[in-house]
Amino acid sequence: MSSSQRYRGTAKAEPTDMKTSSIPPTDTGAKEKAELKEAVKEQAAATSNGLSVLDILRIIAGMLILSCGLSYLSTSGESLTWGYNAWWTRAREWRSLIQGEISLTDSELALYDGSDPKKPIYLALNGTIYDVSISPSTYGPGGSYHFFAGRDAARAFLTGCFAEDSVPDLRGVEQMYMPVDPEEKVGLKPEEREKELEKAQKRKKMTKGELKNRHAQELKSARKQVVAGLESWHKLFRGDKGKKYRRVGTVKREEGWLEKMPKRGLCENAEKGRPVRKYDV
C-alpha cells in the first residue's frame, strides 16, 4: 500500500468529536438563557445599591407616627411628643405666626379684659401680650385673676400686691430680694427687735469697701431673681408649662413713658417678704 493510501485511510478512521470542536455553539436557547442570566445580575446590582430617598422618608414617617401613638397612650392623651412642649409643637403658635403679631397701646389693651364676649382676653407681662381666652373663668369678669386682664401688671406678678402694684413699672422691685439685717426685719415684736439689736452690737464691723462689695453682690443677685421671676410667668403664658395660652404681640408705648410715672416703694407684702441677712456671730 502506498504512503498516500495509508494517509487517506488514517484520515477516514478519525472520528468527528463535536465536544472538542473549536466551532462556537450556535444553539439559540443557550444564548437566550445567557442573556436572561445577565439581565438578572444587572437588576440585582441595581437594587442592592441601598435605600431610595422615598424609602427613607417612609421609614421616618412611620417612626414618627409610632412615637406619637406611644406618647399619646403613655400620657393618657395629654401629649403626642412625650411631654415636650416647645413652641413649634403647638398649632396655636403657628397660627400666630401666620396671622402676625398685634401691637396695642395700654388704652387699647384695656378693651380686651373679657368684658366684651366678642373679643379675646389679653394680658400683658413686661410689654409682651398673651392670649388667655382659654381660661375665661380665671381671667374673665368675676374670675379670681380678672385684675390681670386688659393690662400690664408686671410688678404685681412679682410682689403679689395686686391692688397697688398692677402696673408695668419695675423700678426698685429688686429691693424685695435684697437682704435686711435681722434687727431691721419688718414685723418683729419689740422684744425680738431688742434681742437682735444686742446681737448686732457684738457683730464685727465691716469697712466701707466691704459694705460696698456686699451691696453690689446682693444687688446683682436680686436683679437675677427679678429676671427669673418674670421668666417663670412668661413660660406659663407662652404655654411652656402645658397651659393653652399663647403670645400674640407687644405693648407699644411712647418714649419716656416710664419717667412720667411716679416712683413707688415696695408694698407691705413685698417688704415683709425680704430675706434676712445671715451673720456668723
pLDDT at 275: 92
Across 90-114, average pLDDT: 80
pLDDT at site 97: 61
The β-bridge partners of 103 are: 250
Q: Out of 18-22, 160-164, 230-234, 249-253, which region has the weakest mean confidence (pLDDT)?
A: 18-22
Locate cell 402645658: which residue? 242
Report, as an integer, the average pLDDT of 237-254. 91
Report the alpha-carbon distance of residue 165 to residue 153 in Å, rounded.
7
The pLDDT confidence band at residue 96, using thresholds 50, 70 and 90, is low
Instruction: Answer for the pair 161, 176: CB distance below 8 angstroms, yes or no.
Output: no
pLDDT, position 83: 63
- pLDDT at 29 > cutoff 80: no
* Predicted local distance difference test score (pLDDT) of residue 89: 55
Q: Which of 7-21, 123-137, 148-162, 233-247 has the lowest mean pLDDT?
A: 7-21
Confidence of residue 85 (pLDDT cuts 50, 70, 90): low
Which pLDDT does position 78 carry in this prediction? 55
Question: Which of the four pLDDT bands, split at 50, 70 and 90, describes residue 18?
Answer: very low
User: Taking the domains of the chain in order of start, what are their residue ranges?
Assistant: 54-84, 87-272
- Report the percentage of the chain scoring pLDDT > 90: 50
- Considering 22-36, 41-55, 178-192, the range whose residues carry the highest mean pLDDT is 178-192
Q: What is the pLDDT at residue 54? A: 83
Q: Is the pTM of this model over 0.85?
A: no
Average pLDDT over residues 33-59: 73
Contact (CB, 8 A) for 152 and 239: no
Superfamily of domain 87-272: Cytochrome b5-like heme/steroid binding domain (3.10.120.10)
Region 106-135 average pLDDT: 96
CB atoms within 10 A of CB 89: 13
Worst-scoring range by mean pLDDT, 23-27, 141-145, 235-239, 270-274?
A: 23-27
pLDDT value of residue 154 = 97
Rounded Cα–Cα distance for residues 208 and 205 (Å): 10
pLDDT digits (tens, 9 = 90+) for 214-232: 999 999 999 999 999 999 9
CA neighbor of 130 nearest in space, from 159, 152, 114:
152
Per-residue pLDDT, averaged over 146-162, amounts to 96
